[in-house]
Amino acid sequence: MPAPPPMLSADEALVRLQEGNARFVRGEARFPTVQKDVLADLAKGQHPFATILGCSDSRVPPELVFDASFGELFVVRVAGNVLGASILGTLQYAGSHLHTPLFVVLGHEGCGAVEAAVESRFHGATHGSRIEVLLEEIVPALEGLDPRQEHDALLHAAVEANVRHTIAELRRTPEARARAAVGGMKLVGAIYELASGTVRFLDAE
């Protein structure tokens, strides 16, 4: 396994961000560039075609994963792709004001938040108080899982169960029920595979 890159200080990280932005502005970005007239149009408003609720994990950036450009995705990221009051408010904004027709709950293999919830639920592990609040959103999804499974298999099942749990919670909101009743929204779950980069979309169950 290759050695991890050296840890940057906060100042070094800030410089890296600034240098990256400077390359982008000069049209020398390492990723596909966007013409200035496109940016000017986007400054007038956004019209994303999908809303993505994903994890904060640095290895799973939805815009890159889905090869999307500026203004195409409305992205909400939180550890464990869980719901909370502020997340629900953000998703409500996406539906009520941006009218995105597609909502995707995007989990990923090897999710640290889900793994922490598994350790907490089945092995009595404890975490910092604010982390525990986060894990409380995940633990209900783990009911029905067999803790006797091999660790990787259990984590794989837990990641998918967490995505399905979040979808079920979203479907119970008044806004989702109202939009679904008129055919104005599609809500799907998906799992990102870290090693291959493939997104596996779950069935509509």
* Apex 193 CA angle, 189 and 196, nearest 5: 140
Angle between helices 151-171 and 112-123 (to 10 degrees): 100
CA dist 59 → 45, 53, 111, 130 (Å):
28, 15, 10, 23
To the question of whether residue 108 is assigned a binding role by annotation, the answer is yes
To the question of whether residue 127 is assigned a binding role by annotation, the answer is no
* Integer Cα distance of 73 and 102 in angstroms: 10
User: What residue has token string 């149009």?
Assistant: 41
To the question of whether residue 111 is assigned a binding role by annotation, the answer is yes
Count CB-CB contacts under 10 A for residue 44: 6
Bridge partners (DSSP) listed for residue 186? 102
Residues 81, 55 contacting (CB under 8 angstroms): yes
Query: Which pair of tokens denotes residue 145?
Result: 């899982």
Binding residues: 55, 57, 108, 111
Binding residues for Zn(2+): 55, 57, 108, 111
